[in-house]
Amino acid sequence: MTGDRNSNDTLRMAAAELDALIAEMNRAGDDFSGNSRRKLRRWAYTGTRVPIDLIEHNGHRRRIVAAPRDLSAGGMCVLHGGFIHPGVGCAVTLVQIGGTRNVIAGRIVRCRHVRGRLHESGVSFVSQIRPEDYVAFGDGAVFHVEHVDPAALDCTVLVCMSNAAEQRLVSHYLRDTNATVLFANDLDAAKSMLDEHPKVAFIDHEINEQPGIDVLRDLRECGLTCPIALLADHLSEATRERGLSAGATEVLGKPFTRELLLRAITEFVERGLEPRGAQSRVANAASARDVGLPLTLLEEFVGELRAIAHTIDEQVGRSDCGGLQRTLRELCSAASGYGFKVVAAAADDVGKMIKNAGAIEIDPALTQELTDLCRSARAFP
């Protein structure tokens, strides 16, 4: 990346020297302890370089190469040479673990002097990202909420679990919250509680000898649109993929800690993983039976939707209006054919707004809802 002829390597430091400085700064701070009062947890993100396009108020773009210190769902901290005025817009190019390049729209929110000509800037992303796309955490769920105030949890939680001892444990974990906890010993009991409009649900891997994944599918079909965490007795990547494909928001391994439970509820409710009105996670799903297509074909298209979301982010980041309009037209047609009517309608709406606006710079807010829908799409039998 540093070899990009259009990039200005403002760092002007040997890689080994710079990486040693970043390691020293990270050791001296408590950024990654997980015990701060910050809302979103920071994760170490070092040993690489990232191109950043700075977008001045007059529309002029200038590309620099920066060295990252950390990454969170909401932004990142980078080192670079020279001062950058807070408030300047930017587009950060990040490379996913699998090699896909994503352009993330953001803004410089602070800049401080470190030493010599070296400065440190904080970048705030316009839309939250998934750090696990860029940082290898291993198997299992990762939650990015850092500080949880138990008293602030004021929501209804549905827990589908037939083991009385584990029910008592969950009650104990949530004792300091203001959450209303509904325990369901079987599927029928869970269905009877849907009118209580739970904000989040937890489903055990087995409930009275019925597989939890079947309970999950049935509740989704009955209209449960809130985030659902499936609890797995033996967590593996295959188990997680099966749960996500069936409509789970996340799959958690057992036993789980109080901290994990509180973070999961907080992130599901506050980080935007709850349904957005009519465009809920269930509305944003296609049934193989209803559309007359094999489930494997639908699941393959769900994977393509996530790739399309990344493409849209890249096109927005580089203000590729023509490319974005082509992507939106193709997405609208394909999503409609596969039964994802909500995605198709959203793509059509965004295409019309961009065409009518006729702007050179594309506001990332226009596409945020659409990319969220692409990433949250699910396929059902």
Domain ranges, ordered by start, for the chain: 15-133, 150-270, 285-380
Q: 100-104, 133-137, 187-191, 333-337: which range is least confident on average?
A: 133-137
What CA–CA distance (Å, rounded) separates 184 from 186?
6
Q: Would you state the structure tokens that stand for residue 237, as one six-digit string?
A: 């990547």
Mean pLDDT of the chain: 83
Report the first-to-last Cα separation within the chain, whole angstroms: 43
pLDDT in tens, 93-111: 998 877 888 899 999 999 9
Please state the pTM of the whole predicted model: 0.53
**What pLDDT does 157 receive?**
97
**What pLDDT does 46 receive?**
85
**What pLDDT does 180 receive?**
96
CATH level 3 topology of 285-380? Four Helix Bundle (Hemerythrin (Met), subunit A) (1.20.120)
Scanning the structure block, which residue is given the tokens 């939680």?
A: 157
**What pLDDT does 32 receive?**
46
Query: Does the structure show a pLDDT above 60 at 10?
Result: yes
pLDDT in tens, 219-262: 988 888 888 999 998 887 778 778 887 788 889 989 988 988 99
pLDDT in tens, 197-226: 999 999 999 999 999 999 998 998 888 888
* Higher-scoring residue by pLDDT: 341, 358: 341
Alpha helices for the chain (secondary structure H):
15-28, 164-173, 187-192, 212-221, 237-245, 258-270, 288-291, 295-317, 321-337, 341-357, 365-376
Class assignment of domain 150-270?
A: alpha beta
What CA–CA distance (Å, rounded) separates 301 from 334?
9
Phi, psi of 94 (to 5 degrees): -115, 145
Indicate the CATH number for domain 15-133: 2.40.10.220
Q: Strands of 228-232's sheet, edge to edge? A: 180-184, 156-160, 200-203, 228-232, 250-253
Average pLDDT over residues 166-186: 96
**What pLDDT does 177 receive?**
95
pLDDT in tens, 263-312: 899 888 875 443 333 333 444 678 787 788 998 899 899 889 989 989 99
**What pLDDT does 47 receive?**
82
Contact 339, 378 (CB under 8 A): no
What CA–CA distance (Å, rounded) separates 87 from 111?
10
**What pLDDT does 317 receive?**
84
Share of residues in the chain with pLDDT > 70 (%): 85
What are the CA-CA distances from residue 189 to residues 72, 160, 193, 201, 210 (Å)?
39, 9, 7, 13, 13
What CA–CA distance (Å, rounded) separates 150 from 293?
45
Average pLDDT over residues 351-361: 70
**What pLDDT does 357 receive?**
62
Total Cβ atoms within 10 A of residue 68? 22
**What pLDDT does 144 receive?**
65
